[in-house]
């Protein structure tokens, strides 16, 4: 019990003196925006860097990754930096690891009128994730297995022809 009380006493309590006297919700919100949503180049750079360096982790779901991505895009909007849909789609595709290479190449070649949309990428990724779950392995592993099987049967056919 004493440890809990000590922790409580030692915790840093946020200082709200800069907004405590505000009685109007609009002025309160403006003060909070000034403090936390500064539209500086430094903030923009920080968010862009996080967005570009965002990488999909195989153990996470596509939805979780998409949520992280969308959160960063929304942060950019709050600092008045809006990315076009196609650029968002391309950045999102670049966040995928090598195990998603087949999907990435397919989407790059598929884009209607030579342009990708974030909706198309999201939809394709969700479908790919479902397919991978159904198969129990990644599609790239399946392709390697299929190729090995074909090579063996082709080798056996050529041996049969030689006989």
The model's pLDDT over 5-22, given as tens digits with 9 standing for 90+, comes to 454 445 544 556 666 676
Q: How far apart are CA 54 and CA 60, in angstroms?
A: 13
Find tokens 């895009």 and name the residue: 73
pLDDT for res 31: 75
Q: Which domain holds residue 42?
A: 25-162
Banded model confidence at residue 58, pLDDT cuts 50, 70, 90: confident
Residue 17 inside a domain? The answer is no
Residue 42 inside a domain? The answer is yes
Mean pLDDT value of segment 17-30: 74
Q: How far apart are CA 73 and CA 67, in angstroms?
A: 10
The tens digit of pLDDT for each residue in 114-152 reads 788 899 899 988 888 888 888 875 444 444 333 344 444
**In this structure, are residues 110 and 117 in contact, taking their beta carbons and an 8 Å threshold?**
no
**In this structure, are residues 126 and 62 in contact, taking their beta carbons and an 8 Å threshold?**
yes
Counted domains in the chain:
1
Mean pLDDT value of segment 69-85: 91
Q: How far apart are CA 99 and CA 59, in angstroms?
A: 12
pLDDT for res 100: 87
Residue 81 inside a domain? The answer is yes
pLDDT for res 150: 42
Range in 50-59, 100-109, 138-147, 154-163 with the lowest mean pLDDT: 138-147
Find tokens 């709200």 and name the residue: 16
Residue 6 inside a domain? The answer is no
The token pair at 92 is: 């999102």
Residue 83 inside a domain? The answer is yes
Supply the DSSP string of 27-81, one letter for each residue: HHHHHHHHHH----HHHHHHHHHHHHH----TTS-HHHHHHHHHHHHHHHHHTT-
**In this structure, are residues 51 and 75 in contact, taking their beta carbons and an 8 Å threshold?**
no
Percent of the chain having pLDDT more than 70?
Answer: 66
The tens digit of pLDDT for each residue in 78-88 reads 888 899 999 99
pLDDT for res 43: 83
């Amino acid at each position: 019990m004493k440890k809990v009380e000590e922790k409580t006493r030692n915790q840093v309590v946020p200082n709200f003196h800069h907004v405590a006297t505000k009685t109007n919700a609009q002025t309160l919100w403006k003060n909070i925006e000034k403090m936390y949503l500064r539209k500086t180049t430094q903030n923009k750079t920080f968010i862009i860097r996080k967005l570009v360096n965002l990488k999909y982790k195989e153990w996470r779901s596509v939805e979780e990754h998409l949520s992280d991505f969308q959160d960063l895009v929304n942060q950019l909007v709050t600092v008045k930096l809006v990315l076009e849909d196609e650029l968002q789609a391309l950045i999102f595709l670049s966040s995928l690891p090598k195990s998603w290479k087949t999907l990435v190449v397919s989407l790059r070649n598929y884009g209607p009128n030579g342009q990708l949309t974030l909706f198309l990428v999201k939809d394709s990724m969700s479908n790919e994730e479902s397919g991978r779950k159904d198969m129990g392995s990644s599609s790239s592993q399946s392709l390697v297995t299929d190729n090995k099987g074909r090579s063996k049967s082709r080798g056996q056919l050529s041996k049969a022809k030689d006989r």
